[in-house]
Structure 1
């Protein structure tokens, strides 16, 4: 392989990572830009949010374990 091909591979990898970071930051910014205009959330909503976070954490752990087993 020529040096040009190696340079192209490295540049493509860097650009792919930068675009990925930019897209993630953009979605994060959009999701926080307009917070819902509701009154203070009751305790039930707080419990539900906590439970959703725990469920998401368990799902990430399960996905991580599944990737290790493959």
Structure 2
């Protein structure tokens, strides 16, 4: 295997993980509407949890759709 190809594979994996982490953090921030976690009222916390669950269901639905498309 070529060294350039090996380095490219490793870099692509690292970049993929970093991008996924950034997306997760961004969705979490959006579900809290930009407020810090300590400043949330119980109603805001409940709504943020519901938004997180909705995002989780959307990810699962996308995963299932991709599997059906194969």
TM-score by structure 1 length? 0.58
* Over 6 Å off, 4+ runs: none
Equivalent residue number for residue 67 of structure 2: 68
Asked if 1:17 corresponds to 2:20, the answer is no
For residues 56 and 11 of structure 1, do their structure 2 counterparts lie closer, same or farther at Cα, with a shift above 3 Å needed?
A: same
Q: How many residues align?
A: 60
Aligned counterparts, 1:1-70, within 5 A: 6-22=2-18, 27=22, 28=25, 36=35, 40-70=39-69
User: What is the TM-score normalised by the length of structure 2?
Assistant: 0.58
Structure number with bigger Rg: 1
Cα drift, residue 47 of structure 1 = 1.5
Query: C-alpha root-mean-square deviation of aligned residues, in Å?
Result: 3.1
Gaps of 5+ in 1: none
